[in-house]
């Protein structure tokens, strides 16, 4: 599963280092250097995780942290703040404003990655776990198998990815564009209708024995895994 990370950092050398290493770790990385652009990018790009530098041009990391936490569309996104050595007071303020963790510069990439995964496991285990469960649905990312109750559900790779996206945030409505982006990738041109076709196949496979349909169609918006189900 691809985890989308937004790196907010204005130092070019550090931008490159983080971009290179986090991409190599399998994350999908977006980098932004100007504090003033961050909220727009967070809203549009919907990252799963934000690495947020403290000292930024125009808007500080701490102010951004506050804004992200105060916005209902973004408040769930985990944040690790990057601080300079010795700014003990800043760290306390950062955690106070809603950061999930902080890391002091300079840091090793392996430590950073371990901390990111630890926060993700704590805040959103459905994103990093090998086996994800929702109601009677079990999805195993290692074996790429899905079960409904005890029954094995045979899914194609696209349907598997679709379910994998939906199961990460039960109840959240994903638009067709958001599903296209997360399942097919940003660079691929696929028509919106294709999403409907694959959701149809996913439903058919999941509900083969006449089970309750766990997928909710939200008219003119998109699809969600029904959080009230199960
Ligand atoms: Ca900085």
How many angstroms is it from 103 CA to the middle of ligand 1? 13
How many angstroms is it from 214 CA to the middle of ligand 1? 45
How many angstroms is it from 34 CA to the middle of ligand 1? 10
How many angstroms is it from 118 CA to the middle of ligand 1? 24
Residue 230 pLDDT class (50, 70, 90 cuts): low
Per-residue H/E/C for 58-125: CCCHHHHHHHHHHCCCCCCCCEEEEECCCCHHHHHHHHHCCCCEEEECCCCHHHHHHHHHHHHHHHCH
pLDDT digits (tens, 9 = 90+) for 170-185: 888 999 988 998 898 8
Mean pLDDT for the chain overall: 90
Instruction: Reply yes or no on whether the pLDDT at 29 is more than 80.
Output: yes
Counting residues of the chain whose pLDDT is more than 70, the rounded percentage is: 96
Counting residues of the chain whose pLDDT is more than 90, the rounded percentage is: 63
Edge-first strand order for the sheet with 28-32 is 28-32, 4-8, 49-53, 79-83, 101-104
How many angstroms is it from 80 CA to the middle of ligand 1? 14
How many angstroms is it from 206 CA to the middle of ligand 1? 48
The structural domains of the chain, with segments of one domain joined by +, span 4-127, 131-225
User: CA dist 193 to 6, 46, 56, 136, 159, Å?
Assistant: 29, 22, 41, 28, 14
Q: Would you say 61 and 9 are in contact if contact means Cβ atoms under 8 Å apart?
A: no
Q: Give the pTM.
A: 0.74
pLDDT digits (tens, 9 = 90+) for 99-119: 898 898 889 999 999 999 999
**CATH numeric code, 131-225:** 1.10.10.10
Taking the C-alpha atoms of residue 72 and residue 57, their distance in angstroms, rounded to an integer, is 25
Q: Would you say 198 and 163 are in contact if contact means Cβ atoms under 8 Å apart?
A: no
How many angstroms is it from 146 CA to the middle of ligand 1? 44
How many angstroms is it from 44 CA to the middle of ligand 1? 23
How many angstroms is it from 54 CA to the middle of ligand 1? 6
Superfamily for domain range 4-127: Response regulator (3.40.50.2300)
């Amino acid at each position: 599963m691809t985890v989308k990370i937004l790196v907010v950092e204005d130092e070019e050398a550090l931008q490159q280092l983080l971009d290179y290493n986090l991409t190599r770790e399998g994350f999908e990385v977006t980098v932004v250097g100007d504090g003033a652009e961050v909220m727009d990018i967070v809203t549009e790009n919907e990252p799963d995780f934000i690495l947020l530098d403290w000292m930024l041009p125009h808007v500080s990391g701490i102010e951004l942290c506050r804004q992200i936490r105060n916005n209902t569309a973004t408040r769930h996104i985990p944040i690790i703040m990057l601080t300079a050595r010795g700014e003990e007071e800043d760290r306390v303020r950062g955690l106070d404003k809603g950061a999930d963790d902080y890391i002091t510069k300079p840091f090793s990439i392996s430590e950073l990655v371990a901390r990111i995964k630890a926060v993700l496991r704590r805040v959103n285990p459905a994103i990093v776990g090998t086996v994800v469960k929702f109601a009677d649905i079990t999805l195993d990312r290692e074996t790429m198998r899905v079960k409904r109750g005890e029954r094995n559900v045979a899914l194609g790779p696209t349907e598997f990815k679709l379910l994998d996206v939906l199961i990460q945030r039960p109840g959240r409505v994903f638009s067709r564009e958001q599903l296209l982006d997360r399942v097919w990738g940003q660079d691929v041109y696929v028509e919106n209708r294709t999403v409907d076709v694959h959701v149809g196949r996913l439903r058919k496979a999941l509900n083969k024995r006449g089970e309750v349909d766990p997928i909710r169609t939200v008219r003119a918006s998109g699809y969600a895994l029904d959080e009230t189900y199960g």
